[in-house]
Amino acid sequence: MADPARTEPAPARGTLVICRHGQTDYNVQHLMTGRRDIPLNADGEAQAKEAGQIISVFHFDKAYSSTLSRAFNTAAAALESSGTNNHLKKEDGSWDVEKRREIVELDTGDFTGRNHKTDPEIIAFERHYERPLPGGESDAQVVERVRKFYEDEILPRMAKGETVLVVSHSGIMRAFDIVLGFREPPEGGKGQWTHKTRVPNATPTVVEYQDGVMVNHYQLDNHKVPPAVAPPPANQNAVRKRNVFRPPSQG
């Protein structure tokens, strides 16, 4: 017979917030950026600050970015703008955002710096999931390194009920779609993948977990600032953040 006085432990409620970097001039000019370290433009800096307003309801236990400045600077600007994550600021004023190579953008190889809408060689290239770009990577290779990062770094933190920010790139966001089970890779690995799917700049996606199991996900509009601002950090992230947002209605 169960002891009525015994209290069951509260479920560990983790949250992963993933986001593409803000806009760059290469984005505007339709140039393939890959691993070239192109900085944010003025609009991209503004987008990063807007994203910070949206994520101000979260107190992050950990923040990651890719090794490229456009991702790191988006994360730093968003955390600064949030006003609720100063516990991640170092004594020197910089932000404690861990740079990881596993979430750097797809290597676009020989196509880097070229216009993907007008370049005849890029247009003629028959791209599919397991075929690398000339001198670069395949989508499948990107998915595998993102999967390893997710399994090694993110899942253990979700199981502990932590709140984690990841800022990366469009190719990494698409890879997360497969790693998280939102999309399936092409059957046999030979079909077209989702590389033409538009990934908006600096628009957070929230993935919620209970006891390490994903239970909900939704995207936040980076022009809609949430009405509530969370209280100061008190190591109660997973409890406080619940029910602040609702997933968008379908249809």
Angle between helices 42-54 and 69-82 (to 10 degrees): 50
Catalytic entry in 21, 59, 162, 169: 21
Catalytic entry in 50, 59, 102, 105: 105
Give me the DSSP letters along 77-99: HHHHHHSS-GGGB-TTS-B--EE
Query: Hey, what long-range contacts does 84-90 have (CB within 8 A, 24 or more apart)?
Result: 84/56, 84/57, 84/58, 84/59, 84/229, 84/230, 84/232, 84/233, 85/58, 85/59, 85/60, 85/233, 87/59, 87/233, 88/60, 88/63
CA distance 110 to 32: 10
> Is 98 part of the annotated catalytic residue set?
no
For the chain, strand residue ranges (E) read 13-20, 62-65, 98-99, 163-168, 205-210, 213-219
> Is 87 part of the annotated catalytic residue set?
no
Question: Are 143 and 185 a contacting pair, CB within 8 Å?
Answer: yes
The residue count for the chain: 251
Catalytic site positions: 21, 105
